[in-house]
Amino acid sequence: MRLTLGLLGVIAAAALAGPLLAPAIGLDPTAVSLLDRFAAPSATHPLGTDELGRDTLLRLMQGGRVSLTIGIAAALAAAAIGTSVGLVAGYLGGWADRVLMRLVDAVIALPLLPLLIVLAALDLNKIGVPHALADSSAVSLLRIVVIAVLVGWTTAARLVRGATLVTRQRDFVRAAQSLGAGVTHILWRHILPNVMAPLVVATTLSVGDIILLESVLSFLGLGIQPPLASWGSMLTNAQETLASSPLLAVYPGAMIFLTVIACNLLGDGLQRRLDPRRGIAG
């Protein structure tokens, strides 16, 4: 688990160091230089340049910031929505549980890839989004986060609901109810802390899934748009130069692979560490 945390720390630190490294070496990750297309690795360009003469290392760093931001932000937002739905459904039960769980089932039943393609291809100017936001360079990032949250909150909702159904039968919850504690107080102070362990594991695992989702949409040309870069969009650009410059696809592909594997290993490690049966068995 320490190795996994170290790997994720190195990836995050490298991504965050991009804005500091670019001025230090006098390069701009978005600057096009057609005279330097497909340059080999050198002291000036440690990983060479891409099809437009942009520094590959700085593009990888920028892509890491974008991909990690999408993964972490969407995972946290989806966990927050799913936790709220799961707590209410599991604690109140009855019609609230039935309605919310049928909503969860409806979202899960939707065909995922066609839905994502439709949502990613929507013209924001035609659905009431302010022109200043719809035409900004960061809108593609925000769009991917929203899409990932819309389809990703159901996992946390089902997980938290199941844990809440068990926890609400515990003696300390019944004691709080008998003392007249309100629903909000019980959910926040007594039930939520006891469902956090599986929720943290699920959220950690979902970061890798969301990074893969962003990569798929960007590979289809529906994700991050220029001048921003993501690992997925770098793969998209590299597919036309696989024969002549395969490393342009290897670099972002390797970063996606390492990050997703590290997130999954971290989730597995947290699951073992937070499993209450581990302490009993030990």
Tens-level pLDDT at each residue, the chain (282 residues): 778 888 888 888 988 888 888 787 777 788 888 888 888 888 888 888 888 888 888 889 988 898 899 999 999 999 999 999 999 999 888 899 999 999 999 988 888 777 777 777 777 777 767 766 666 767 778 888 888 898 889 999 999 999 898 888 888 888 888 888 888 888 888 888 888 888 888 888 888 888 888 888 877 777 777 777 888 888 888 888 888 888 888 998 899 889 888 888 888 887 777 665 454 333
What letter represents residue 26's amino acid? G
Q: Which residues on neighbouring strands pair with residue 49, listed in sequence order?
A: 55
Domain annotation covers residue 164: yes
CATH number, position 225: 1.10.3720.10
How much is the pTM?
0.84
3 state SS of 200? helix
Domain annotation covers residue 15: no
Q: What is the pLDDT of residue 275?
A: 61
Domain annotation covers residue 140: yes
**C-alpha to C-alpha distance for 163 and 194, rounded to whole angstroms:** 8
Tell me the DSSP string of 29-91.
Answer: TT---GGGTTPPP-SSSTT-B-TTS-BHHHHHHHHHHHHHHHHHHHHHHHHHHHHHHHHHHHH
Question: CB–CB of 62/229 below 8 Å?
Answer: yes
Domain annotation covers residue 145: yes
Domain annotation covers residue 199: yes
Domain annotation covers residue 173: yes
Q: What is the pLDDT of residue 270?
A: 79
User: In which domain, by residue range, is 209 found?
Assistant: 47-277
Domain annotation covers residue 84: yes
The separation between the first and the last C-alpha atoms of the chain, rounded to the nearest angstrom, is 19
Q: What is the pLDDT of residue 137?
A: 66
Question: CB–CB of 237/50 below 8 Å?
Answer: yes
Domain annotation covers residue 188: yes
Q: Comparing C-alpha atoms, which of 165, 188, 149 is closest to residue 86?
A: 165
Q: What is the pLDDT of residue 282?
A: 38
Question: For the chain, how many structural domains are there in total?
Answer: 1
**C-alpha to C-alpha distance for 251 and 273, rounded to whole angstroms:** 33
